């Protein structure tokens, strides 16, 4: 069975600082994808970043980057220069041949001014 | 132009009623989904369609009936609504099967009273 675990229910960061959100996963597939989604209070699900499992290079999107450790089945999200607009629930998700996304339980990120 | 749009955004109804949620995507994607987000923010797949064909039915009660008239539309009809059906329902689409990134609609908050 595929699982995604986010062990940090809540995190807090000062504006302009860096924060890392943790995610571990389990899958028996060799070809899979990992995602981070952001859900602000508006409840819209916004794709932040994606990583293909076959790529060794860590994905980066502006201030967002991941640390993908395939052997450890770890996929953490680093947010640099945090902004007030980054405050949201962040979900880690696993996708693959099963044609569905498996989501973690989410991490609620607060950004302090 | 909204990529994945759902209507309505909010739905309040009494127990026992039947209701529908509509979803349309203008991305030209082949695959569409319904996800349910419960009160604890946990997201879980309900259904997946590929080119109008049902691919996944994740042990959802048969009071829930999806319908895909064409690959751009996926509607969700719910019969005999129960209090436990209260949740946010998300429609999503992806380019193809295999769970590449999914693009989500804005969600429909269903409240059963």
Min Cα–Cα distance to chain B from A58, Å: 17
Rounded to whole angstroms, the Cα distance separating B19 from B6 reads 14
Cβ distance A27 to A2 under 8 Å? Answer: yes
Cβ–Cβ gap B107/A43 under 8 Å = yes
Asked if B54 has any chain A CB less than 8 Å from its own CB, the reply is: no
- Give the pLDDT confidence score for residue A60 in this predicted structure: 95
For residue range A90-111, list pLDDT tens digits in order.
999 999 887 889 999 999 999 9
Q: Which residue in B51, B104, B107 has the most chain A C-beta atoms within 10 A of its own C-beta, making it the best mutation to test that interface?
A: B104
Q: Tell me the mean pLDDT in the region B43-58.
A: 91
Confidence of residue B1 (pLDDT cuts 50, 70, 90): low
Q: Tell me the mean pLDDT in the region B81-94.
A: 96
Min Cα–Cα distance to chain A from B34, Å: 10
Query: Which residues in chain B have their CB less than 8 angstroms from residue A46's CB?
Result: 104
Min Cα–Cα distance to chain B from A76, Å: 18
The residue among A99 and B71 whose pLDDT is bigger is B71
Cβ–Cβ gap B44/A103 under 8 Å = yes
Q: Tell me which chain A residue has its CA closest to the CA of residue B34.
A: A100
**Is B103's pLDDT higher than 90?**
yes
Average pLDDT, chain B: 93
Q: Tell me the mean pLDDT in the region B33-60.
A: 92
The residue among B99 and A63 whose pLDDT is bigger is A63
Confidence of residue A72 (pLDDT cuts 50, 70, 90): very high
For residue range A7-17, list pLDDT tens digits in order.
999 999 999 99
**Is B68's pLDDT higher than 90?**
yes
**Is B99's pLDDT higher than 70?**
no
For residue range A56-68, list pLDDT tens digits in order.
899 999 999 999 9
For residue range A25-51, list pLDDT tens digits in order.
999 988 899 999 999 999 999 999 999
- Give the pLDDT confidence score for residue B60 in this predicted structure: 87
- Give the pLDDT confidence score for residue A6 in this predicted structure: 98
Cβ distance A44 to B104 under 8 Å? Answer: yes
Out of B99, B101, B106, the one facing A44 most closely (by C-beta) is B106
Cβ–Cβ gap A105/B31 under 8 Å = no
């Amino acid at each position: 069975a595929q699982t995604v675990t986010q062990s940090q229910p809540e995190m807090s960061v000062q504006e302009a600082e860096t924060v890392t959100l943790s995610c571990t996963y389990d899958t028996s597939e060799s070809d899979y994808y990992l995602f981070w989604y952001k859900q602000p209070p508006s409840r819209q699900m916004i794709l932040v970043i994606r990583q293909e499992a076959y790529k060794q290079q860590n994905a980066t999107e502006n201030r967002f980057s991941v640390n993908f450790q395939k052997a450890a089945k770890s996929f953490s999200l680093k947010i640099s220069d945090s902004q007030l607009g980054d405050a949201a629930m962040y979900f880690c998700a696993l996708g693959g041949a099963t044609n569905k996304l498996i989501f973690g339980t989410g991490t609620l990120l607060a950004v302090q001014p | 132009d909204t990529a994945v749009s759902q209507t309505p955004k909010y739905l309040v109804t009494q127990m026992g009623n039947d209701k529908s949620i509509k979803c349309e995507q203008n991305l030209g994607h082949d695959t569409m989904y319904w996800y349910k987000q419960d009160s604890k923010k946990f997201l879980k797949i309900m259904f997946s369609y590929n080119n109008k064909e049902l691919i996944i039915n994740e042990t959802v009660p048969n009071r829930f009936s999806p319908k895909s008239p064409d690959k751009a539309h996926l509607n969700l009809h719910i019969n005999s609504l129960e209090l436990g059906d209260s949740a946010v329902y998300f429609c999503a689409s992806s380019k193809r099967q295999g769970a590449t990134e999914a693009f989500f609609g804005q969600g429909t908050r269903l409240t059963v009273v």
